[in-house]
Structure 1
Amino acid sequence: MPLLELEGVTRVVPIPDDEPLRILSGVDLVVDAGEHVSIVGRSGSGKSTLLNILGLLDEPTDGSITFDGVPVRRMSSADRDRRRGREVGFIFQQFNLLPGRTAVENVATPLLYAEPRRFWRRRRLALEMLDRVGLANRAEWMPSRLSGGEQQRVAIARALVRNPRVILADEPTGALDVQTGQSVMQLLDSVAHDTQSALVTITHDPAIAALADRRFRLDGGILHAEQPEAVR
């Protein structure tokens, strides 16, 4: 069963004293467990809007979304919030680490709202995840002491510490050099495969998009599937 399924998803935003702005038009997308899907598109093409819909932050104007077999329209607002907090991991280009907390404290932050069993083990779980991303020796370092690539790996550990079913990465390598960016994507692919999570990468970089199992291009709010050789 697909983890994410979008059918005919449209997003239209009303504009005062003007025509409504159509951001997405009839988007169809299916993402399976353990699969990496990439979506490329120019600035303003609707990538962030699509990511917000996939992450249960926004609702479409028309169309349907199914999350792990459950139609999103049947969920209450509280149900969506709980599912997003429990099962969706967001990774952004800007690391958004808390400057006054160590790497392990940053990674443990999402577990402050976890069930008691994971809440009381939050430091241990955070340390295990930092070890997974190769930063066990940086656990007590403040973000200001970490390189850009290390900060991004801390942000990845923070997003993955809850074992999300869906990982949404918005320009995760945009602030990194090429070599570090490739390393970050290999890490995400490995984690998604090992945990059977769905990984969706939103990027403007064709080289990063080419690392995915399937690739799509968002152009004028319309999602097009691309063949591997078309991504250059």
Structure 2
Amino acid sequence: MSIIRLDGVTRVVTLPDGGRLTILSGIDFEVDGGDRVSIVGRSGSGKSTLMNILGLIDSPSEGTVHFDERDARRFSSSIRDRIRGQRIGFVFQQFNLLARRTALENVMTPLLYDSGRDFWRRKAIATEMLESVGLGHRLDSTPDRLSGGEQQRVAIARALVRRPQLILADEPTGALDLDTGQSVMELLEGVAARTDAALVTITHDPNIAARADRHYRLDAGHLTTTLTRPVVPA
């Protein structure tokens, strides 16, 4: 059973002059548990819009989005919020950490919205997650005392602390050097594998895209399948 499925998804926006701009056009896309998928696209290709639709942040102008085989058009805003909080993890190029909070406090933040056992165990759960990404010794460090790679690891721990079914990584290594980026992807893939989560990585970097099992290209709003692994420059 698919986690998320897009059928004929099109996204059109109205411009200030009254014109219409098609950002996504007729996209069919499906992700199952455990999938490793990459989507390559240049700036302006519609990557961010596609990510927002996959994350139930935005809705298509045409077509349907199904999450767990349920039509997302029937979801109330509170249901969408709950699905995003509990079942979808977002990892961005910009780490979006709370500047004055420690690594532990940043990772604990999503657990503050729980009402059950995880709320009362939030410190232990967040500590365990930070230890799993190799930052058990940096629990009390604020973002300004962490390297770029360490900040991204905190962001990953925060995204995965509720063990989501679907991980959406939008240019997760774009702000990192090559070696740190590869290390972060290994970490992200390892955590996803342990929890059997699907990982969708949207990137412009062919080296990152090549790590996935299924490959797509987004060009001018059209999504096409790439049957072979992306060519990685020597």
TM-score normalised by the chain length of structure 2? 0.96
- Structure-to-structure mapping, 1:69-108, within 5 angstroms: 69-108=69-108
1:33 match: 33
SS in 2 for 1:16: coil
CA distance in 2, matches of 1:21, 1:177: 35
Shift, 1:19, TM fit: 2.5
2:210 match: 210
Aligned residues: 232
1:194 match: 194
The 1:229/1:160 distance shift into structure 2, 3 A limit, reads: closer
CA distance in 1, matches of 2:180, 2:230: 24
What is the RMSD of the two structures over their aligned residues, measured on CA atoms? Answer: 1.1
Consecutive unaligned residues in structure 1, runs of 5 or more: none
Q: For residue 93 of structure 2, what is the amino acid of its counterpart?
A: Q
CA distance in 2, matches of 1:230, 1:117: 44
**Does structure 2 conserve the Cα–Cα contact (< 8 Å) formed by 1:209 and 1:231?**
no
2:224 match: 224
1:144 match: 144
**Does structure 2 conserve the Cα–Cα contact (< 8 Å) formed by 1:23 and 1:46?**
yes
- Percent of pairs identical after alignment? 64
SS in 1 for 2:2: coil
SS in 2 for 1:3: strand
Could you list the structure 1 runs, at least 4 aligned residues long, displaced by more than 3 angstroms after superposition.
229-232
Consecutive unaligned residues in structure 2, runs of 5 or more: none
**Does structure 1 conserve the Cα–Cα contact (< 8 Å) formed by 2:216 and 2:224?**
yes
**Does structure 2 conserve the Cα–Cα contact (< 8 Å) formed by 1:4 and 1:32?**
yes
- Structure-to-structure mapping, 1:95-134, within 5 angstroms: 95-134=95-134
Q: For residue 182 of structure 1, what is the amino acid of its counterpart?
A: Q
SS in 1 for 2:200: strand
CA distance in 1, matches of 2:103, 2:16: 45
2:56 match: 56
Shift, 1:80, TM fit: 1.0
Q: For residue 186 of structure 2, what is the amino acid of its counterpart?
A: Q
